[in-house]
Amino acid sequence: MPPTADREPVDVVIVGAGLAGLYMLHRVRGLGLTVRVFEAGDDVGGTWYWNRYPGARCDVPSLEYSYSFDPELEQEWEWSERYATQPEILRYIEHVADRYDLRRDITFGTRVVSAVRDDEANSWRIATDTGEQVACTWLVTAAGCLSAPKPPEIPGVETFAGPIWSTSNWPADGVDLTGLRVGVVGTGSSGIQSIPVIAEQAASLTVFQRTPNYSLPARNAPLDPEYQREWKARYREHRAAVLQMRTGILIERGTQSALAVDPDERTRRFEHCWDTGLFACIPASYPDITTDLAANETAAEFVRAKIRATVRDPEVAEALTPRGYPFGTKRICLDSGYYETFNRDTVSLVDLRRTPIVEVTPRGIRTTEAEHEFDALVFATGFDAVTGPLLRMGIRGRDGVDLRERWADGPRSYLGLQVAGFPNLFTITGPGSPSVVSNVIVSIEQHVDWIAECLRYLREHDIATIEPDLDAEDAWVQHVHDVAALTLYPQAPSWFVGANVPGKPRVFMPYLGGVPAYRQRCAEVAAAGYNGFRLDRRTVPA
């Protein structure tokens, strides 16, 4: 039996108060619907609330990683750096919450633990970890793609005598690492951003690396006020241009094969990218970098040479050099002095491919070769990405079907927006949408606008339920797969394919067809009266 609701039912429940949930709330209010938002954190911010580790910053330029829905908002907010730090982005999100008076509909410190479809009542019954229950007609998940931290999966973690911090749940008051011997496990974006900053503070730092990543210099700098003024004067033009970009980030795209150009010219182009500090620049230089192994290798070798030129100890340089998977098929990292950090006397690298971790001990970390002693440990071990945040929410659709069962062989959705058998459930940046392979705020705004317009349509046409046709869903899942298969992406054991979580089905989860094509498809579906969706007027069972 689904739990009964003990609060007034509402039209819409939104799960999450990060960038997606806040804008969804704003739009839902604009439709005159009643709404509740549940947020696990004690305040707004989502990713930017939890990931407060030293060095955390965005890797999309601030002027593009911001809401576009209100020209006044974009004019009044001043970014101080090219790539904003976590505290600055959090201040921005708090400003948005204040500006639109959003907090009054948000229940903080509350996690949704079950969401059960009640077809007879045409509602979702939501239960939280604080014991609250509420029914809603429409359920919108805005839980993010990288919000379910993955356990480190190392035996003995609980025996460590000192503090353990996780980059994905960093103490809000910060941590004083001065004078400490610190061990960091993990060299994805979070590790790569935090390692140079931790190295500056700690007495010594040992980095435990399993897979080397490709990282490019961010070239972060204060934003020139004049540049910002000019940008803002042409903001509408820039926003429109962003929507023409495959990744939703302004970038120059080449049209030639990387193999068709003179090697010197190609190197000049890569050098230009290296200097621009835009992570999408090299992959965009030549279209076949993402589709052809030989073309990709030219970019991979360029970055490898940069690592060799930066890291003084050739053995350390070699250990840091990514091999065995194509460049860009794991999320490219942007760093500020990452490789240079390994030239410090106080920093050492443990190559876990050579000597794997056996266990965490009370004193530190024991590998097959040695026990390394630490005062503190930092885990930057990543997330159960894209599906993790949805699957831990206890979602059960029609006939009690658990979303976990439905997705046992990998996520299935129509347009990344809805799942067959789960009527009136919308998933912002869900699997099968550009989400994490795009500038996510661009994708968030598009999903929120699409869902808001859909809700308006449903109300105007007196429609009680919307859900995808199974055929439309199957075709979309196949399309997402086919597009990914045209690229090199599925060749890497990345979190994009769930390879970082033991037992997770290996399916490429985001949609690689690009932001413009995806937007067009979603718009066409809506314009055709929600083609591929089943709209049902019934409000009581037949």
Residue with Cβ nearer ligand NAP (102 or 501): 501
- Residue-wise over 398-435: b if at least 16 C-beta within 10 A, else e? eeeeebeebbeebbbbbbbbbbbbbbbbbbbbbbbbbb
Q: In the bound complex, what is the minimum distance in angstroms from residue 188's beta carbon to ligand NAP?
A: 2
Query: What angle, rounded to 10 degrees, do the helices at 19-30 and 86-99 form?
Result: 10
Q: In the bound complex, what is the minimum distance in angstroms from residue 386's beta carbon to ligand NAP?
A: 11
Burial class (CB in 10 A: 0-12, 13-18, 19+), 95: middle
Which stretch, 33-41, 188-196, 198-206, 312-320, contacts ligand NAP (CB under 6 A)? Answer: 188-196
Q: In the bound complex, what is the minimum distance in angstroms from residue 352's beta carbon to ligand NAP?
A: 6
Of the candidates 265, 278, 296, 264, the one whose C-alpha atom is nearest the C-alpha of residue 216 is 278
SS3 392: coil
Residue with Cβ nearer ligand NAP (123 or 336): 336
Q: Which residues 143-162 are close enough to bind ligand NAP by CB under 6 A?
A: 146, 152-154
Q: In the bound complex, what is the minimum distance in angstroms from residue 438's beta carbon to ligand NAP?
A: 11
Placement of tokens 């690009």 in the chain? 514
Q: Using the rule CB under 6 A, which residue among 18, 21, 144, 186 binds ligand NAP?
A: 186
Q: In the bound complex, what is the minimum distance in angstroms from residue 61's beta carbon to ligand NAP?
A: 11
DSSP assigned state of 289: G
The contacts of residue 254 (CB under 8 Å, 6+ apart) are: 269, 284, 285, 286, 287
Q: Which residues 38-77 are close enough to bind ligand NAP by CB under 6 A?
A: 57-59
Q: In the bound complex, what is the minimum distance in angstroms from residue 442's beta carbon to ligand NAP?
A: 14
Residue with Cβ nearer ligand NAP (61 or 423): 61
Q: Using the rule CB under 6 A, which residue among 62, 211, 215, 443 binds ligand NAP?
A: 211
Q: In the bound complex, what is the minimum distance in angstroms from residue 384's beta carbon to ligand NAP?
A: 10
Residue with Cβ nearer ligand NAP (74 or 351): 351
- Cα distances from 304 to residues 134, 215, 300, 311, 488, in angstroms, run 54, 10, 6, 11, 19
Q: In the bound complex, what is the minimum distance in angstroms from residue 112's beta carbon to ligand NAP?
A: 22
| CB contact at 8 A, 194 and 333 | no
Q: Using the rule CB under 6 A, which residue among 199, 249, 352, 425 binds ligand NAP?
A: 352
Residue with Cβ nearer ligand NAP (137 or 147): 147
Which stretch, 203-211, 280-288, 308-316, 501-509, contacts ligand NAP (CB under 6 A)? Answer: 203-211
Q: Using the rule CB under 6 A, which residue among 18, 54, 61, 191 binds ligand NAP?
A: 191
* Separation CA 303–CA 325 (nearest Å): 13
Residue with Cβ nearer ligand NAP (126 or 515): 515
Helix (H) or strand (E) holding 19: helix 19-30
500 contributes a contact to ligand NAP by CB under 6 A:
yes
Q: Using the rule CB under 6 A, which residue among 210, 404, 456, 521 binds ligand NAP?
A: 210
Four-point Cα dihedral 337, 339, 342, 344, nearest 10: -30
Task: Tell me the site size for ligand NAP, rule CB under 6 A.
Answer: 28
- How would DSSP label each residue in 55-93? T-B-SS-TTTSS--S-HHHHHH----BSS-BHHHHHHHH
Which stretch, 117-125, 206-214, 245-253, 443-451, contacts ligand NAP (CB under 6 A)? Answer: 206-214
Q: Which residues 434-473 are close enough to bind ligand NAP by CB under 6 A?
A: 436
Q: Using the rule CB under 6 A, which residue among 62, 123, 290, 381 binds ligand NAP?
A: 381
Q: Using the rule CB under 6 A, which residue among 175, 289, 319, 357 binds ligand NAP?
A: 357
Interface map 111-150 toward ligand NAP (x if CB under 6 A): -----------------------------------x----
SS3 535: strand
SS3 499: coil
| CB contact at 8 A, 478 and 414 | no
Tokens for 415, please give them. Answer: 């347009």
Q: In the bound complex, what is the minimum distance in angstroms from residue 499's beta carbon to ligand NAP?
A: 7
* Separation CA 352–CA 63 (nearest Å): 38
* Separation CA 240–CA 219 (nearest Å): 25
383: which strand partners?
149
Q: In the bound complex, what is the minimum distance in angstroms from residue 262's beta carbon to ligand NAP?
A: 33
Residue with Cβ nearer ligand NAP (379 or 533): 379
| CB contact at 8 A, 361 and 371 | yes
Count other C-beta atoms under 10 Å from residue 252's C-beta.
13
Q: Using the rule CB under 6 A, which residue among 181, 246, 306, 331 binds ligand NAP?
A: 331
Residue with Cβ nearer ligand NAP (48 or 302): 48
Q: In the bound complex, what is the minimum distance in angstroms from residue 233's beta carbon to ligand NAP?
A: 27
SS3 128: strand
Tokens for 10, please give them. Answer: 């509402």
Tokens for 180, please give them. Answer: 């400490």
Q: Which residue is nearest to ligand NAP (CB)?
A: 188
Tell how far CA 235 is from the center of its chain.
25
Amino acid of residue 478: Q
Q: In the bound complex, what is the minimum distance in angstroms from residue 198's beta carbon to ligand NAP?
A: 14
Instruction: Using CB under 6 A, list all residues that contact ligand NAP.
Output: 57-59, 146, 152-154, 185-191, 193, 208, 210-211, 331, 352, 357, 380-383, 436, 495, 500
